[in-house]
């Protein structure tokens, strides 16, 4: 669990943003842990997906989301989006005078805890994969563990459409999971806020492909907390 250094005005709301509706999975997890907190959520549905855009564009979008949330006098900012956490978190933390919490560290730690052999599969957006953020976070926590990354961009529009089960999501899931199973992963981190919406399908397909049980980690469930 990642904790903010200072929570400022205790009664002020916390701000959470994501590129779309996927971050509601993080919002729900935070509310379960901190039910008395007042939270303001921003889903940037107008510009989703972030995961296929350049780091520079993602940073520009992240700055505008943060500025919009600051109009609510938020006491801290949770970056629910893995892509923003991967490419823009450090910059936001430098630029804002409130605590800024991301999701990569908590997700990486949960993956390590669930992985007996240290072969942690991570499905994420192309932007998150290209950033190397999960590999770095996993390496910092456990130098013997390895992140095996697979970009899974088509899961984002499926989640946004609410098309989370049936033949098409299962075929897409199979296409992304086959290389990870071939690489003998022993845990799978859902490194994108949208993917937990397809968790049942991903778990079923993974069980079909694997000879042994592979735990699936919803990175939202190990979200930041303060
Ligand atoms: N919310 C993004 C993330 O967690 C995924 C969706 C997108 O591509 O915008 O990485």
Cβ of 83 closer than 6 Å to ligand 1, yes or no, is yes
Q: Could you tell me if 135 and 210 lie in one domain?
A: yes
What pLDDT is attached to residue 2? 46
Q: Which two tokens stand for residue 93?
A: 């933390």
> Alpha helix (H) ranges present in the chain?
24-33, 55-70, 82-87, 89-95, 104-114, 126-131, 133-141, 155-161, 167-182, 199-209
Q: Containing domain of residue 39, as a range?
A: 14-101
Cβ of 85 closer than 6 Å to ligand 1, yes or no, is no
β pairing state of 187-191 and 119-124: parallel
Q: What percent of the chain has pLDDT over 90?
A: 88
> Does some domain include residue 9?
no
Question: pLDDT by residue (tens digit) across 54-75?
Answer: 999 999 999 999 999 999 999 9
Measure 211 CA to ligand 1 centroid, in angstroms. Answer: 30
Give the whole-angstrom CA distance, residue 19 versus residue 62. Answer: 9
CA proximity to 157, closest of 148, 149, 147, 168: 168
* DSSP assigned state of 35: T
Give the whole-angstrom CA distance, residue 29 versus residue 107. Answer: 13
Q: Could you tell me if 67 and 115 lie in one domain?
A: no
* DSSP assigned state of 56: H
Q: Could you tell me if 108 and 214 lie in one domain?
A: yes
Domain end position, chosen among 55, 75, 101: 101
- CATH number where 94 lies: 3.40.50.1860
Instruction: Taking residues 200-207, report their average pLDDT.
Output: 98
Give the whole-angstrom CA distance, residue 103 versus residue 219. Answer: 7
Q: Could you tell me if 137 and 75 lie in one domain?
A: no
Question: pTM of the predicted model, to two decimals?
Answer: 0.93
Q: Could you tell me if 63 and 131 lie in one domain?
A: no
> Does some domain include residue 58?
yes
Q: Which two tokens stand for residue 112?
A: 């390590």
Measure 85 CA to ligand 1 centroid, in angstroms. Answer: 10
Which of 42, 188, 192, 217 is the catalytic position?
A: 192
What pLDDT is attached to residue 3? 43
Closest C-alpha to ligand 1, atom 6? 49
> Does some domain include residue 8?
no
Q: Could you tell me if 18 and 75 lie in one domain?
A: yes
């Amino acid at each position: 669990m990642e904790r903010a250094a200072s929570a400022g005005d205790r009664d002020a709301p916390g701000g959470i943003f994501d590129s779309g509706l996927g971050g509601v999975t993080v919002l729900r997890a935070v509310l379960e842990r901190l039910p008395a907190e007042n939270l303001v959520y921003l889903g940037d549905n107008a510009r989703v997906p972030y995961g296929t855009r350049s780091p520079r564009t993602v940073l520009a979008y992240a700055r505008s989301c943060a500025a919009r949330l600051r109009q609510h006098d938020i006491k801290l900012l949770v970056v629910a989006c893995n892509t923003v956490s991967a490419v823009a978190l450090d910059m936001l933390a430098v630029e804002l005078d409130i605590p800024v919490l991301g999701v990569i560290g908590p997700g990486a730690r949960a993956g390590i805890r669930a992985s007996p052999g240290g072969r942690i599969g991570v499905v994420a957006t192309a932007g998150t994969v290209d950033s190397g953020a999960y590999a770095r976070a996993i390496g910092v926590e456990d130098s013997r563990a390895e992140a095996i990354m697979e970009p899974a961009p088509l899961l984002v529009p499926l989640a946004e459409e609410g098309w989370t089960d049936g033949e098409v999501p299962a075929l897409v899931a199979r296409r992304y999971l086959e290389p990870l199973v071939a690489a003998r992963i022993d845990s799978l981190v859902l490194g994108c806020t949208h993917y937990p919406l397809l968790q049942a399908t991903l778990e079923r397909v993974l069980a079909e492909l694997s000879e042994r049980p592979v735990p699936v980690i919803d990175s939202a469930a190990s979200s930041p907390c303060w």
